[in-house]
Chains A and B, each alone.
Chain A
Amino acid sequence: MDTQYRRRFLSLIQQRFERWHLDWLSRRAPAQALVRLGGRNIYILPTGQGLLFVITSVVVFVAAINYALSLAFALSFLMTGVFLLTLVHTFMNLQGITLRGHGAEACFAGDSAVFKIIVQRDDKRIREAIDVGVADTASHTKTDNKSSAKNKYNGQIANLNHSLTTEVFLAVKAPQRGLFKAPRLMVKTAYPLGLWEAWSRPDLDLQCLVYPRPQVCELPASSGAGDSADNLASVPGNEDFYGLRNYQPGDSKRQIAWKTLARGQGLKTKQFVDPCDFNVMLDWTQFSGLDLETRLSCLCYQVLQLSARDVDFGLRLPGQEFAPDRGEEHRRKLLEALALWS
């Protein structure tokens, strides 16, 4: 019990500090689309290995005194020199790098938003082993058990050896619908010896639209233009050619696409549907009885389903209405409305 309290207390302090630190950072380094790393925004401290290295060098020094060994003195001083120098080298491994963030493709709540970060150098110095990542606050605020501690940080290694630019893709979990703002980046490096770690916390103003998480549901009856639910979508039939799918045992021989087989594209079955060109209208009120987010999730599912079936459909939200239409652009518009609706 005691340890549990202590752990909770510690994690509380840690969270407080993290919040204070982030506040401080947001005042010091506000969000920018392009950040150049330099003396103002690089921090550096010795790592655990670096401290051990220093302790070792002190032990060698004491032994050198006691045994009066000139060469052991030299070794100890060499270690000190290397330690001091790697401070410079590690710092310079970050110095002068520019980071540019690209907004991610929209994603669904609970999925990962994938941001593209362009890491660039414009000088001759090779940079290596730069760890670009984000501290994943979503899992951090949860209980600090082992798995979340492991997931706390997800980074990608960027190398600028032969090229001047490189891209890093960061997947950040987007828990809620809406406009997701990625947390500050953590750019760090311990190159070349791992004795020091230099890091920077740039905020590249990374944003991403998060759609509601789709939830499987039946379409209520009152959505069509007055007809039964069966006619809402296109149903399998034999009027219009709809597409091809892989042959499954039992498919009618008449429906096999012989031409594609002749082209060497494998055994396919032609699919036909009966047309149904009703104007479907999705409505906020259709999912009454559910809470707000679930309603949006259901609507999202329906939008996805309907646009996949390629029918005209519209959406009515309180205060917003979209006339029935089809196509990629229409779908995006509706999903965006669902994401941002409040």
Chain B
Amino acid sequence: MVVNAVIPRTALIWILSVMVLLILPHLTRMPVWLIVLAGVCLTWRWLIYIGRANYPGRAVRAVALFAVATATIVQYGGEGLSIDGTVILLISGCLLKLLEMRYRRDIYIVNTLAFLLLMAGFIYSQSILSGAYNLMVALLILASLISLNRAPDFTDGRIEQLRNLRLAGILMLQALPLMLILFVTVPRISPLWSVTQPSTASATGVSDRMSPGEISELARSTEIAFRVKFTGNIPSPQQLYWRGLVLEDFDGSTWSRNYFTIGPRQDRDYQSDSSQAALDYSIIMEPTQQNWLYAINVPDVNQPGVFLDNYNVLNVSRPVVQRFRYDVRSYTDVPSDLILGQRARNRALRLPEDGNPRARELAQQMRAQYSDDRQLANAMLSRFRTEQYFYTLYPPLMPDNSIDDFLFDSQQGFCEHYAGALTFMLRAAGIPARVVVGYQGAEHNRFEDYLIVYQYNAHAWVEAWFEGVGWQQLDPTAWVAPDRIEQGAEMLMRQNEQTLQDPAFAMLLLMDRPWLNALRLRMDSLEYSWNRWVLSYDETTQLAFLESLVGASRVKWLPAIMVVMLVLILAAVVAGSMFKNRRRHDPVVDTCLQFMNSFSGTKLARVPREGAYTFFQRLAQNNPECRDELDACARDINQMMYRSSMDSHNVLIKNELRALSTRLKRLSRQLARANKQSS
């Protein structure tokens, strides 16, 4: 390829469409000036293409480059080289290159930019859809390269353009097995250096503060929090308490996390032996931008970067910015913290100096009634059932003394109100207590047998510490609205007219139609498999999968196996190519031979090494009445055999061949009849 040659026009079309498709997914992230630049550059390029404009001069290009660089630095420079800024730079580089893309050597740069942009797209989305889209764009890049490398006089016409695409497709199909082998076997390593993450995402899910109304706000979202796959049977809904954070500090209205006690736990409550009841499951969490994970109590994780803190909550050293997979073993019957240290006890009893006097008074009264801590706690819980309390997503606002207002006036609340009030009363009665936020319940997807936990499963409950038992889970919601726990959050919402009118819950209405619901679950199971097998294929998963594939002892031979497989695939491609190498049968010769062989056994049979021409001559001598037709056939055969175009796929040639074949058959019959008569 001569690098100084001008890019053929047909190849340009491909390259331009690739450019547009590359930029399209980033459109929502592009600042306004870049969208304007894109419009100008593409229009200008189009005008150049149709011959209405010329390439911009050196001065214009220099000014454009300077302006773009300045704009990018002004907009993104403050954060260092953020990934957003880099993507914007890549896109503007592509756009400016459009205007000076003239020679084949420019394609080098464009090609590199194109693949880097494809990669950048994956930083923002790795869904099935974006994977398929980017695969299609990669296919078009290959097609554009092919059209660039073909001789110009053979790239015109729609069929030839389609051939580029077909060849690119073949190349892609052949490359896919290679890709698969490399994907499975090339060792995954942890990040080499820390990178900045895209800034667009904001924290989602349960937060580290809980004031009244916060969880009920979250409970209106139908987004997915995480998906869980159990190794054994799926436990009952009553067991599905996904602990997130423990909130200990209370300032009179808001419960929040105590940040002085963060750190890995030094001692453990349990011994890792198989005798204890345990649940094994793996969770794929949607990005939360937060540092904690969700698990059933008491979790144990053996994964680098994940640790258990003093509250038996799983923490990660870096925020979860992408889908994150972790495998957990939870010991359900293990008591936690049988001995409570003095500092921990003080933290779990601390209340504000004043505020909510009626609640304090009630707690004192009940304390006087019951001397046993557990009896007292049970009495407080049963009070929620015996008195007129309502469980609702839309409670009235309670500005000050919120606990008093809730307990004695409105008596309507969501789980956070009940959890907050119960913890307050327990503390006021001298029982160490704390609020736990997380999720409760899940939806079962029967297609892949896993659980989906939605944001509307968000929940808050209470843990109280009892002598000899340790921290124990108390859920006031289970006393107020047992359906919420047993049948799930969505059942509760379906009973409420107000939620059904909320557009976010359109999904709930879908569930009424079984086939729509099945479709929804199927789509989700597809996405789950994608997450599980493709996106979360990391060091741990890879090792486990490879060990299950070839056996633990043979994993070290994998590099050799990989190389052998790659070579085998390449050899298969060569062999496939060589297979086509066989000399082709000329259909004209075949037809002619068929005719000549039809006389074998008769006196007109073909003499060894007799050519078609002499054979036809001999026939004509013996049968003068057929001479004209024989001569005509011989001439046609000659013509068809020696014409330059031998493409037997051509429809015209096929028709001619068929016509020749019928003529020869008729001749053969005629001659046979004549010979029978004469003999």
A residues in contact (CB < 8 Å) with B: 47-49, 52-53, 55-57, 59-60, 62-75, 77-82, 84-89, 92, 95-96, 122-125, 128-129, 157, 159, 161-165, 190-194, 197
Contact = CB atoms under 8 A, between A and B. Distances in A.
Which range holds the interface residue count of chain B? 35 or more
Given A60-B116, A74-B179, A78-B138, A194 B149 contact: yes
B108 A162 contact: no
Interface in B193-223: 193, 195
Nearest to A157: B151
B262 interface: no
Contact of B151 (A80, A85, A124, A159): A159
A299 to B, nearest CB: 42
Given A53-B111, A75-B119, A88-B574, A193 B142 contact: yes
A164 B645 CA distance: 7
A194 B322 contact: no
Interface of B: 1, 3, 107-108, 111-112, 115-116, 118-119, 122-123, 126, 130-131, 134, 138, 142, 145-146, 148-151, 153-154, 167, 171-172, 174-179, 182-183, 186, 188-193, 195, 322, 534-538, 566, 570, 573-574, 577, 580-584, 644-647
Contact of A56 (B112, B167, B189, B574): B112
Contact of A65 (B183, B191, B574): B191
A206 B235 CA distance: 85
Contacts of A77: 178-179, 182-183, 186
A165 B646 CA distance: 10
B582 A52 contact: no
A69 B123 CA distance: 7
A88 to B, nearest CB: 5
Nearest to B566: A84
25 contacts: A52-B108, A56-B111, A56-B112, A59-B119, A65-B190, A67-B123, A70-B534, A72-B119, A73-B188, A74-B179, A74-B534, A78-B172, A78-B175, A81-B176, A84-B178, A86-B171, A89-B171, A92-B574, A92-B577, A124-B580, A159-B154, A161-B154, A191-B149, A192-B150, A193-B142
Contact of B534 (A48, A71, A88, A190): A71
Contacts of B116: 56, 59-60
B195 to A, nearest CB: 5
B179 A81 contact: yes
Given A65-B191, A88-B574, A192 B149 contact: yes
Contacts of B151: 128-129, 157, 159
Contact of A68 (B118, B191, B573): B191
B119 A193 contact: no
B195 A66 contact: yes
Nearest to A123: B581
B146 to A, nearest CB: 5
Interface pairs A-B: 4 shortest CB-CB: A81-B178, A81-B175, A77-B182, A77-B179
Given A72-B122, A77-B186, A128-B150, A62 B174 contact: no
A128 B1 CA distance: 13
B584 A124 contact: yes
Contact of A66 (B177, B192, B535): B192
Nearest to A59: B116
B37 to A, nearest CB: 24
B129 to A, nearest CB: 12
Given A59-B119, A74-B131, A191-B149, 8 more contacts: A60-B119, A72-B122, A73-B186, A79-B115, A82-B175, A123-B583, A191-B146, A194-B148
A70 to B, nearest CB: 5
A66 B179 CA distance: 20
Majority secondary structure, B binding face: helix
Majority secondary structure, A binding face: helix
Contacts of B130: 71
B549 to A, nearest CB: 18
B407 to A, nearest CB: 48
A95 to B, nearest CB: 8
Nearest to B582: A123
A216 to B, nearest CB: 39
B111 A52 contact: yes
Nearest to A191: B149
A87 B574 CA distance: 10
Given A47-B1, A88-B577, A159-B154, A52 B123 contact: no
A84 B1 contact: no
Contacts of B108: 48-49, 52
A104 B371 CA distance: 118
Given A74-B179, A75-B118, A88 B145 contact: no
A89 B566 CA distance: 15
A59 B116 CA distance: 8
A197 B150 CA distance: 14
A17 B122 CA distance: 47
Given A124-B580, A193-B146, A88 B193 contact: no
B581 A96 contact: yes
A88 B178 CA distance: 14
B167 A192 contact: yes
Contact of B126 (A66, A71, A79): A71
Contacts of B154: 128, 159, 161
Given A75-B119, A81-B179, A124-B584, A163 B646 contact: yes
A52 B108 CA distance: 7
Contact of B150 (A47, A52, A85, A191): A191
B126 A123 contact: no
A9 to B, nearest CB: 25
B171 A85 contact: yes
B146 A192 contact: yes
Contact of B538 (A52, A68, A81, A165): A68
B193 A66 contact: yes
Nearest to B131: A71
A159 B154 CA distance: 8
A324 to B, nearest CB: 45
Given A66-B193, A68-B538, A81 B182 contact: yes
